[in-house]
């Protein structure tokens, strides 16, 4: 059974940085893609960034390009989201998710999800 566990959320002032981690377990992940989504209460879950375990190709939402960086450590089965220049509008619960093959932006196409980690950016 695949398990995804996020960590690293917290409270930060606008302009600050946080690094989120998503530790994956349960099988080998070569050939799969990982993504970060975020959700604000009452709104739809939003794609933030994605990465393929093999090759490391990435994709970003326009709203985070140039500020967020997704990366992975294959040896640790861990995906990271480095978030810089944070803005109050980045406040949300951040989730990691996994699916076969390619990165897509639609959350319903991801099979496995972590429990989420809260990120709060104060102005």
Confidence of residue 54 (pLDDT cuts 50, 70, 90): confident
Query: What pLDDT is stored for residue 85 in this prediction?
Result: 98
Q: Are 31 and 100 in contact (CB under 8 A)?
A: yes
Answer yes or no: is pLDDT of 29 > 90. Answer: no
- Give, in order, the Cα–Cα distances in Å from 103 to each of 14, 18, 22, 67, 85: 29, 23, 16, 19, 25
């Amino acid at each position: 059974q695949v398990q995804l566990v996020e960590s690293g959320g917290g409270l930060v002032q606008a302009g600050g940085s946080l690094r989120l981690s998503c530790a994956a377990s349960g099988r080998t992940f070569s050939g799969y893609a990982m993504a970060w989504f975020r959700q604000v209460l009452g709104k739809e879950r939003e794609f933030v960034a994605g990465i393929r375990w093999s090759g490391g190709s990435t994709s970003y939402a326009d709203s985070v390009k140039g500020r967020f960086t997704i990366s992975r450590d294959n040896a640790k089965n861990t995906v990271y989201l480095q978030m810089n220049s944070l803005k109050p509008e980045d406040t949300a619960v951040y989730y990691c998710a996994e699916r076969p093959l390619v990165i897509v932006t639609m959350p319903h196409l991801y099979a496995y999800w972590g429990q989420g980690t809260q990120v709060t950016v104060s102005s």
